[in-house]
A and B are shown apart, each in its own frame.
Chain A
Amino acid sequence: MKSQAHVFKDRAALATHDGTLRRALGRAKDGFVGKRRLAVEALPEFGEIRAAAKRIKDHTLDHLADYLEQFEAQVTAGGGKVHWAETPAEANSIVLELCRKAGARRIAKGKSMVAEETGLNETLEGASMEVLETDLGEYIIQLAKEPPSHIIAPAVHKNREQIRDLFRDHHPQLNPTRKLAEVSDLVNEARAVLRQGFLDADVGITGANFLIAESGSTVLVTNEGNGDLSSTLPRVHIVIAGIEKVVPTVEDACTLLRLLARSATGQEITAYTSFFCGPRRPGENDGPEQFHIVLVDNGRSGMWSGKFREMLRCIRCGACLNHCPVYGAIGGHAYGWVYPGPMGSVLTPLLLGLEEAGDLPNASSLCGRCEEVCPMSIPLPSLLRQHRIDMHARRIEARSASWGLALWGALVRQPRLYRLASAAGARVLRLLSRGSGNLRRLPLAGGWTAVRDLPAPEGNTFMGEWKKRGGQ
């Protein structure tokens, strides 16, 4: 997927004025935030599970290579095959080759963020294969030719009317006068259309929420069952996953599962939680003939060895998006690439570079809600700040801001000079306000006065007055 992260500022400003988007985001936020709160309140030991989850992931990351090797050995023993991809291009070509070997023309695909990361659909479609997104949200945005705007609710920006119009346009085989008024009408129609896609598919591609080292199995959660149909009906099942998805044991995966659905949608557990344990064995009636797992690095090893290792704990629940006031103001598309919200603002610069995506970590008030709700206790504000530190160190921040801060920093370190400057500043701003109490415009403060008045200082500084009163 081509990044638009470098034009974040313009896209974000446009998004804040999109009324349809705003209503959609408002509905989604109310739902996600409220339901998560209830789910967490209903589980008194949530905090303990959260602490345990962090320990599990930290331990796994400390021994990442060992657990990945164990996972591969177990997959192989079960009759499956693990493929290693360092780059997105490698991952795509591995999947393409597997599909070619399977003689695939049609592919049923479950939702996968890492496949969005690698741009897998473009590669497969470029080789004249038909890819059908089978998650309802992904299906909707596939019809609309749009990227996902949320990592667990990819079509959260669309309203019912927009979806109805898409279905009318893209399902010409159906009666044009059919009723599509209710959400259930839309769901039923998608179900009927997708059903044939599952039956026709030669290959099924899904993501994975967890990879279990001790058993060589992959775990997938969905609320629609599309992951199970994508993986069990086609002849070949390909799982694509980032290397950070591995956990040591089934029990560890279950601990994380207790956090995942609650944090994501406020459910205690998703409608479907599936463990895929290899290809069909002799005597079994269903399941794929081949089971392949493509493990994608794409920058994760670099994160592992640097200051951003904690980001590899992320389980992609989306809680940080749902609680982020910036995401709530602009939606997911403004971020310009695959991952939006706080987790995206940490990840995207790591995967695409700070030159491309430097706006993302800066476009945060560091309000801390993301860290508060993160089930994996990822210090997202600190990681966003770390990006800013790296930008400053590599001199790729905005020059004017950098000089301004340097000047201010020098002044702050000269208390006497600072006193004179602040006293003069307070008086001048007071005069400029002409008794109105506010400044509507001020040179060099356009960012402030573009949307708000600047309350005028009271006139004297506290420090000046304190000194004048003899410290009383």
Chain B
Amino acid sequence: MPTPCPDRPRVALLVTCLADLFRPSVGWAAVALLRNAGCRVEVPASQTCCGQPAYNSGHKGTAEAIARQVIAAFEPYPYVVVPSGSCGGMLRTHYPELFEDDPSWADRARALAERTYELTSFLVDVLGVEKVEARFPAKAAYHDSCSSLRELGIRSQPRQLLGSVADLELADLADAGACCGFGGTFCVKYPAISERMVDDKLDDILATGADTLLAADLGCLLNIAGRARRRATGLRVLHVSEVLAGMGDGPGIGDPEPGE
């Protein structure tokens, strides 16, 4: 169980390399949500990536070096919040595994893991947020990312918050926890298999009649949006934080710039 949260907690945002590069809106949405919930948000300047691509590709030494850098950058903060289940899972689950046999880093890795939360889980489980002030007129399907669901056990938190968004209808997505076929480097190493998986996911999404797809992981979202665009489905794709922060009215991921 998380420890009771102090007033105006100091929170370090790990924005994630994908959001930093592709979708800064996710970072701004996370900042807004955290501030609205009374947090003091800081963004450690030396952050880059959590090292997951190296870890999942078997480059353990590189992953450890990156992890040490992240641990050092984030350990001064009482809370670390990540708008991504997979980066969150990397810090919470895999950092302690990486340093299991390294006494000088094992405790530091574990300590950071215990203070690290995925964004929607932090809002609901730690801050006790029950609803958000946002309006989003759409019918949206919510896709659970593999890491959110199976590494962090997050399922109800994003749905609870989305349930409070005005004019938003949540569609009942079949097999919402099935992998979308992203899997980091997997999707570029085995595009044919990944294509089949993302097509299955898209077919399930379109079958609900939803016009929008939401998820908490930019990896999944870039993959699904990219395939949806290639298939010209017209599906709108957004990070869940953008909708929760009331910032969901701009172009979706992969949508043309206004006026194009």
CB-nearest residue of chain B to A465: B24
A426: CB under 8 A from chain B?
A: yes
Interchain CB contact under 8 A, B69 and A451: no
Structural contact, A422 and B227, CB atoms closer than 8 A: no
Q: Once the chains bind, are B226 and A362 in contact (CB under 8 Å)?
A: no
Please tell me if the beta carbons of B28 and A462 are within 8 angstroms of each other in the complex.
Answer: yes
**B45 cross-chain contacts in A, Cβ below 8 A:** 415, 463, 467
Chain A, residues 415-432, CB within 8 Å of chain B (1/0): the string is: 100100010011000000
A450 to B193, Cβ gap below 8 A?
A: no
CA distance A460 to B24 in the complex (A): 7
Closest partner residue, chain B, to A393 (CB atom): B58
Tell me, in angstroms, the Cα distance from A440 to B186 when the chains sit together.
19
Cβ B227 vs Cβ A458 within 8 A: no
B20 touches A388 (CB 8 A): no
Total interface residues on A, using CB and 8 Å?
Answer: 69
List B residues 23-54 near A (Cβ within 8 Å). 23-28, 42-43, 45-49, 51, 53-54
Q: Is the CB of B193 within 8 A of A326?
A: yes
CA distance A167 to B230 in the complex (A): 44
Point out the residues of chain B lying under 8 angstroms from A363, CB to CB: 186, 189-190, 193
Indicate if the CB atoms of B257 and A392 lie closer than 8 Å. Answer: no
Using an 8 Å CB-CB cutoff, how does the interface string of A338-366 with B read, 1 for contact, 0 for none? Answer: 00000000000000000000000011111
B131 within 8 A of A: no
Residue A413, interface by CB 8 Å: yes
Q: With A385-B55, A405-B59 in contact, do A458 and B23 touch (Cβ < 8 Å)?
A: yes
**Inter-chain contact B189/A362, CB cutoff 8 Å:** yes
- A412 interface residue (CB < 8 Å to B): yes
**A365-B181, A451-B194, A466-B27 known; A392-B227 Cβ under 8 A:** no
CA distance A405 to B56 in the complex (A): 11
B197 interfacial by beta-carbon distance below 8 Å:
yes
Check: B146 CB closer than 8 A to any chain A CB. Answer: yes
Indicate if the CB atoms of A452 and B42 lie closer than 8 Å: no
Closest residue of chain A to B18 (Cβ to Cβ) is A457
Closest Cβ of chain B to A156, distance in Å, is 17
Given contacts A367-B183, A415-B46, A461-B21, contact A436 B58 (CB under 8 A): no
Contacts of A365 in B (CB 8 A): 146, 179, 181-184, 186-187, 194, 197
The contact of A437 among B59, B183, B230, B257, by CB within 8 Å, is B257
**Interface contact A418-B196, CB-CB below 8 Å:** no
Chain B interface residue count: which class? 35 or more
A448–B184 Cα distance when bound, in Å, is 11
* CB-CB under 8 A for A462 and B24, given A363-B190, A451-B192, A454-B226: yes
Residues of A near B19 (CB, < 8 A) are: 462
CA gap between A319 and B97 in the complex, in Å: 26
Q: Quick check: A422 and B21 within 8 Å, CB to CB?
A: yes
Chain B positions 224 through 260: 1 when the CB is less than 8 Å from some CB of chain A, otherwise 0 = 0111011000000000000000000001011111011
- Give a binary string over A140-162; 1 marks a CB under 8 Å from any B CB, 0 the rest: 00000000000000000000000
CB closest chain-A residue, reference B232: A453
Beta-carbon contact of A455 and B150 below 8 Å: no
Q: Which stretch of A9-17, A47-55, A168-176, A242-250 is in the interface?
A: A9-17
Whether B193 contacts A329 by the Cβ 8 Å rule is: yes
Answer yes or no: B75 CB below 8 A from chain A CBs: no
CA of A431 to CA of B102 in the docked complex: distance in angstroms?
45
Say yes or no for B128: interface residue by CB 8 A criterion. Answer: no
Q: How far is the CA of A437 from the CA of B230 in the complex (A)?
A: 12
Q: How far is the CA of A440 from the CA of B254 in the complex (A)?
A: 11
User: CB distance B43 to A369 under 8 Å?
Assistant: no
How far does the alpha carbon of A137 sit from the alpha carbon of B82 in the complex, in Å? Answer: 49
Q: What residue in chain A is nearest B19 (Cβ atoms)?
A: A462
B76 proximal to A (CB < 8 A): no
A408 on the B face (CB < 8 A): yes
Which one of B3-11, B60-68, B134-142, B160-168 contacts A? B60-68
Q: Judging by beta carbons under 8 Å apart, are A436 and B188 in contact?
A: no
Kindly identify which residue among B22, B25, B187, B259 contacts A448, using a CB–CB cutoff of 8 Å: B187
Residues in A whose Cβ lies below 8 Å from that of B211:
none
Q: Tell whether, in the assembled complex, residue B196 and residue A458 are in contact, meaning their CB atoms are under 8 Å apart.
A: no
Residues of B within 8 A of A16 (CB): 192-193, 195-196
Contact yes or no, A392 B24, CB < 8 A: no
A412–B241 alpha-carbon span in the complex (Å): 25
CA distance in complex: A456, B150 (Å) = 29
List, in ascending order, chain A residues with CB within 8 A of B54's CB.
405, 408-409
Residue in contact with A385 in the complex, picked from B47, B58, B188, B223, CB distance below 8 Å: B58
Does chain B have a CB within 8 A of A438?
A: yes
Instruction: Determine whether the beta carbon of A372 is less than 8 Å from that of B150.
Output: yes
Known contacts being A329-B197, A368-B150, A448-B226, is A409 close to B47, with CB within 8 Å? Answer: no
Spell out B's residues near A (CB within 8 Å). 15, 17, 19-28, 42-43, 45-49, 51, 53-60, 62, 65-66, 69, 97, 146-147, 150-151, 177-179, 181-198, 200, 222-223, 225-227, 229-230, 251, 253-257, 259-260
| Pairs across A and B, CB under 8 Å, 19 listed | A16-B192, A16-B193, A362-B186, A363-B186, A369-B178, A388-B58, A408-B54, A409-B62, A415-B46, A422-B20, A437-B256, A437-B257, A447-B188, A448-B187, A451-B198, A455-B226, A460-B24, A462-B28, A463-B15
Seed contacts A367-B150, A406-B59, A435-B256; 9 additional CB < 8 Å A-B pairs = A411-B48, A413-B48, A425-B21, A447-B189, A448-B226, A450-B191, A452-B223, A463-B20, A465-B24
Sorted nearest first, the 10 A-B pairs with minimum C-beta distance are: A365-B183, A447-B188, A388-B58, A452-B226, A455-B254, A367-B179, A462-B24, A13-B192, A462-B27, A329-B196
